[in-house]
Structure 1
Amino acid sequence: MKIKNGISLYKYAKTIIPGGTTLFSKRSELHLPNKWPAYFNKAKKINVWDLKGNKYLDMFCAVGTSILGYNNERINKSVLKNINKGNMTTLNCPEEVLLAKQIIKHHPWASMAKFTRGGGEANALAIRIARSNTKKKNVAFCGYHGWHDWYLSANINSKKNLDQHLMSGLNYDGIPENLKNTSFPFPYNDFPYLLKLIQKKNIGVIKMEVMRNIKPLDCYLQKVREICDQKKIILIFDECTSGYRQNMGGIHLKFKVSPDMAIFGKALGSGYAINAIIGKNKIMSKAENTFISSSFWGERIGYTAALSSIKEFKRLKVFKKIESNGKFIKSIWLDLSKKYNIPIKVMGTDAIPSFEFCSNHAQRKTFLTQEMLKNKILATNLIYVTIFHNQDNIKKYIRVLDKVFFNISKKKIKNILKSKLCFKPIKRIN
């Protein structure tokens, strides 16, 4: 078939791929409906070229998977070297063992590891192992943890259960009704709510994101750890997004609270598919009592990319750079908010900063993306910061953003919008 551009290809894709694309977060409707370029031809550092050869500055960056920038030469070199030696054989690749040793080294509380390619399956695997360790099978969760039945079944009780964790009014088609009353959401920083849930619902596993948009208050994480110890509940920290982004390992290390299991992904492979599940020996060893396996969990590429990435994190002092770049971006947003008297709420860690307009958010966000795209910038209200998002190379972003805030302050945005409003994205309760 002849491809004219990304927009027309996306329209065609929706006729043969449900939703148009396998990854929900890359649907054009989330950014700029009927205008988003949708597909790329090549990428380097924080630049992306679309199918027509247009070059964009990427201020969103692959849903957080490319902390070392796109098409990183050192990572690619390591991967290609091993591809040339063979990716999949009857025997196992030694890199699996080497990566397990390396990640456990970063987390003294853990002693065993398993691996997957995607974050959703890593979360499902962790739940299976945790449930293998307790007679209390019910799960309490806080945050976004993938697409599997155990998680989406929370909406069988009420279609509002996942409103603040994933998205509003989410259907649970295809989920067995007998999973009702097995998974229960709880709000972040509300320890009394969690305590009542534990008492009423016979909770055996707690899974939560450590931190996303707001910081833990009043020793919240410590209290969760203590109640898990008291009630013999298995605590899982989902760090698919936050892990290996602000420090070497999980962000829970900064708060000095250790879980029983933890999950890492996205940044770990610098653009290559790899997720890690680590935990205490007595818990992880129960994986032998159930069947957990997948052919492509054994491919060599992900392990090689992760090992190479960890070396680069050390060599480049990545986490200091990420923190500095993120703080700089937050300061820009706050300065423009004050300059044009447009109230915004700045949130998130320095590694994943975001903001919300305090009024007309969807309309203003859509306008922001529209104006950025006109100037060959891929941008929304959220940035997964990379080592290349620094003061020198985002001057163009700053100039355009200044004009965006100016126009919002002076004009009726609905009169100059060329697109339908963007869909609501996945929510991050914490």
Structure 2
Amino acid sequence: MDRSLTNSNNLKNRAKKVVPHLTGTFSRAAPSYVEGVFPVYAQSAKGSHFIDVDGNEYIDYLMALGPITLGYNYEPVNQAIISQLKEGILFSLPHPIEVKLSEKICEVIPYADMAKFEKSGSNAVTAAVRAARAFTKRDKIAYCGSGGVWHDWQAAMVSRDGGVPKFNSELIKIFDYNDVDGLEQIFEDNKNEIAAVVLEPTMYEQPQNDFLDKVRKIATQNDSLLVLDEIVTGFRFDIAGAQKYFNIKGDLVCFGKGMGNGLPISCITGPSEFMKTFDELWVSSTNNSENLSLAGTYAVIKEMEEKNTISHCWDIGKKLFYGWNKTVEKFGLDAKMYGYPIRMHMQCFDSTKKESLSMKSLILQEMIKKGIFMSVLGGTFICFSHSEKDIENTLTALESACEFVTKNVKNENYGDFLEGLMPKSIWSMKIFPTKKNF
């Protein structure tokens, strides 16, 4: 693939002068990829493909950091937005679409009596935490997840904690996925102080030994709320979310990303006894009732219902997941996909079983040359628009990349063959998980 990145690089140089960190989202910025080889700016997209500002086309597996569940520039969603645009974007009063979408969400999401809309996943989970604190009259949070909630209550746990008041670090207690003992220790150390267990139902790891059921039981026994962070799992694992997929009940459940197929929208749901808490809280914003996102999201959910889109994503994802792992095994590379066919990630290990970012960067560098866009630092997502042809082309590109690596790399010197800069991690954990005191 003969590619130019001239326009991308020119825009990057302009952005350096006027945009902190080049863009408003850390994970989208050039340093998150092999800078100098990966494109920096996208111009347009359709289905599962996007075109960069230099006219290069790619099959995309990052899906705008996860929100694209149907596909880019998806016609029924576009039409819903256009139709609403003709009526208006935002009014001094609510529009009927807010009620209509709320009813639809309560229809498809388990245990949801009410729905409250926000504009981002961070806002939704933060609002749920505030409601849990108000409901329980407690302040501390037990947390298990992959990050992504960057308001003060959680940002205290990561390296990018500048500007976060120090007291916040005393209010968040971390436990590892599948570590029930660690969660129990948090409650032992903080008796009657934990307002909520905030849990991402899964990242890439499968729940073991009834982990999710035990978390639910521990929260109930301690009169704490279970807040499920379904920003990623919602409308991707199942239209009814991870609650249905894993058969777990949340008290407050937060959705975002995939529900809007790229629109800026998120949502908190739950039984009325918890949701009515919002009647007394200052959780309000001018743009929460913005109507284009509400109308578009309604169209997204209708498409998922009528076309069984999530089933297709699982089926096509399995072809990539298992095809990928078969290919890397054939070449003797420890570079498998882990997780779930609709939300997977690639991990590379050297001969000492140490994770190798340089190996991963090199494989994905060679694949980007073949028009396959995957994140070095993030996950791999499947959308309804991914086709069998996309998967075939991806596995062909992987075969070529593996051939390049096995032919050229000696003594695991993967970094020597990078044609750009090694990706830079965005954040690291500052607060370590609680472990059981035996």
TM-score greater than 0.5 by the shorter chain: yes
Query: 1:427 offset after TM fit, Å?
Result: 8.2
Q: 1:205 to 1:56 in 2, by over 3 A?
A: same
2:106 to 97, 104, 107: 104
Provide the rounded CA distance (Å) in 1 between the counterparts of 2:372 and 2:336. Answer: 22
Question: Is 1:199 matched with 2:188?
Answer: yes
The code of the aligned residue for 2:357 comes to A
**Is contact 2:319-2:391 (8 Å) kept?**
no
Question: Is 1:304 matched with 2:334?
Answer: no
1:180 to 142, 146, 169: 169
Could you say which residue in structure 1 is the equivalent of 2:155?
152
Provide the rounded CA distance (Å) in 2 between the counterparts of 1:425 and 1:59. Answer: 20
Query: 1:4 offset after TM fit, Å?
Result: 5.5
1:229 to 220, 228, 231: 220
Provide the rounded CA distance (Å) in 1 between the counterparts of 2:52 and 2:171. Answer: 44
Could you say which residue in structure 2 is the equivalent of 1:17?
19
Provide the rounded CA distance (Å) in 1 between the counterparts of 2:13 and 2:230. Answer: 34
1:5 is paired with a residue whose SS is: helix
Could you say which residue in structure 2 is the equivalent of 1:361?
356
> TM-score by structure 2 length?
0.90
Give runs of aligned pairs for residues 257-336 of structure 1, distance below 5 A. 257-336=248-327
Could you say which residue in structure 2 is the equivalent of 1:115?
117
Question: Is 1:44 matched with 2:49?
Answer: no
1:368 is paired with a residue whose SS is: helix
The code of the aligned residue for 2:117 comes to F
2:373 to 371, 374, 378: 378
Query: 1:345 offset after TM fit, Å?
Result: 4.2
Provide the rounded CA distance (Å) in 1 between the counterparts of 2:428 and 2:228. Answer: 18
Provide the rounded CA distance (Å) in 2 between the counterparts of 1:53 and 1:199. Answer: 58
The code of the aligned residue for 1:81 comes to S
Provide the rounded CA distance (Å) in 2 between the counterparts of 1:63 and 1:80. Answer: 24
1:406 to 403, 407, 429: 403
Query: 1:356 offset after TM fit, Å?
Result: 0.4
**Taking every aligned residue pair, what percent have the same amino acid on both sides?**
26
Could you say which residue in structure 2 is the equivalent of 1:419?
420
Question: Is 1:394 matched with 2:383?
Answer: no
Q: 1:231 to 1:373 in 2, by over 3 A?
A: same
Provide the rounded CA distance (Å) in 2 between the counterparts of 1:106 and 1:30. Answer: 36
2:58 to 53, 56, 59: 56
Question: Which of 85-94 and 50-59 deviates more?
Answer: 50-59
Give runs of aligned pairs for residues 248-259 of structure 1, distance below 5 A. 248-259=239-250
**Is contact 2:238-2:310 (8 Å) kept?**
yes
Question: Which of 353-362 and 271-280 deviates more?
Answer: 353-362
How many residues are aligned here?
Answer: 414
* Structure 1 unpaired stretches of 5+: 156-161, 163-169
The code of the aligned residue for 1:423 comes to K
Provide the rounded CA distance (Å) in 1 between the counterparts of 2:34 and 2:172. Answer: 34
Question: Is 1:240 matched with 2:231?
Answer: yes
Question: Which of 32-41 and 216-225 deviates more?
Answer: 32-41
Cα distance per residue 1:70-95 (max 9 Å; x no partner): 00011101110110111111121111
Question: Which of 322-331 and 98-107 deviates more?
Answer: 98-107
Query: 1:425 offset after TM fit, Å?
Result: 5.8
The code of the aligned residue for 1:390 comes to S
Aligned-pair RMSD on alpha carbons? 2.0
**Is contact 1:115-1:276 (8 Å) kept?**
yes
Provide the rounded CA distance (Å) in 1 between the counterparts of 2:321 and 2:428. Answer: 20
Query: 1:384 offset after TM fit, Å?
Result: 0.9
Provide the rounded CA distance (Å) in 1 between the counterparts of 2:399 and 2:291. Answer: 45
Question: Which of 299-308 and 404-413 deviates more?
Answer: 404-413
**Is contact 1:65-1:269 (8 Å) kept?**
yes
